[in-house]
A and B are shown apart, each in its own frame.
Chain A
Amino acid sequence: MKRLRPARPGFACCLAILAAGCSFIEPVAPWEKGTLAKPEMGFDAARFDARYDEHIYTSREAAPAASGVGGGGCGCN
């Protein structure tokens, strides 16, 4: 019978950390979300940029009024 190698503590430790993943990291508490609440952390931090992006998107996607922009349906947006 093949002899098992003696357990290596370092390897076991690494395995345990890998298996644990990020589970030991505590989630951000509600009162710690000050930085996340900053306007620049939003999806559309810059209002005009967002408006411009939306315009490009709707015209490239050939979807007039897709984002609530009024259009006559002529495709000339």
Chain B
Amino acid sequence: MHRIALLLLLVCASALGVEPGAPAADFALPDEKGRVVTLADQRGKILYLDFWASWCVPCRQSFPWLNDMQARYASRGLQIVGVGLDEKRQDADRFLASYPARFTIAFDATGATPRAYGVKGMPSSYLIGRDGRVIFRHIGFRPSDKAELERRIARALERGAR
């Protein structure tokens, strides 16, 4: 009986996805050149994991801002990884041609990573600390979110530096 309850709890926990404070789910995804990007590679950095798709309109608005964040905070230990969730790689490539990314891009056509993270809307982003735990998650992207997101990233970098 206890075993069934535990199993149920586990199933429910996996459906909930990654909550702030919980360890981030591991992933190993190919980048644009076929090299593998993993969560373990990013240890020691503050990771901003962004789930995007070519058809997602707010994602278009987020890319210039992500480029800006990567350029400004890379020296302080920020690494942005954008996970493209298009089923067809050509769609993602076309998007990247129009909205170039100056941060790490990885692809997951299967949807296993967003499922593990419990992505509830597009785009979704997760800030993961140097200890591999989720600091916060954010759903959607509006230009008005920029200031608050940047403030939280800067605060995480500051806290992580100590």
Contact = CB atoms under 8 A, between A and B. Distances in A.
Real complex partners, A and B? yes
Interface residues of B, number: 18
A37 B55 contact: yes
A30 B86 contact: no
A32 B111 contact: yes
A30 to B, nearest CB: 5
Interface of B: 51, 53-57, 85-87, 91, 111, 114-115, 119-122, 124
A31 B120 CA distance: 9
Given A31-B85, A32-B111, A38 B55 contact: yes
Contacts of A38: 55
20 contacts: A29-B111, A29-B114, A29-B115, A29-B119, A30-B114, A30-B119, A30-B120, A30-B122, A31-B111, A31-B114, A32-B87, A33-B122, A34-B53, A34-B54, A34-B55, A34-B87, A34-B91, A37-B55, A37-B56, A37-B57
Interface string A22-38: 00000001111110011
Nearest to B119: A30
Interface of A: 29-34, 37-38
A77 B46 CA distance: 61
Nearest to B87: A34
A29 B110 CA distance: 12
If over half of A's interface residues share one DSSP class (helix, strand or loop), that class is named, otherwise mixed; here it is loop
Closest 4 pairs (CB-CB, A-B): A31-B85, A37-B55, A34-B55, A31-B114
A32 B110 CA distance: 10
A33 B85 CA distance: 10
Given A31-B85, A33-B55, 19 more contacts: A29-B111, A29-B114, A29-B115, A29-B119, A30-B119, A30-B120, A30-B121, A30-B122, A30-B124, A31-B53, A31-B114, A31-B119, A31-B122, A32-B87, A34-B53, A34-B54, A37-B56, A37-B57, A38-B55
A34 B87 CA distance: 9
Contacts of B53: 31, 34
Nearest to B83: A31
Nearest to A38: B55
Contacts of A29: 111, 114-115, 119
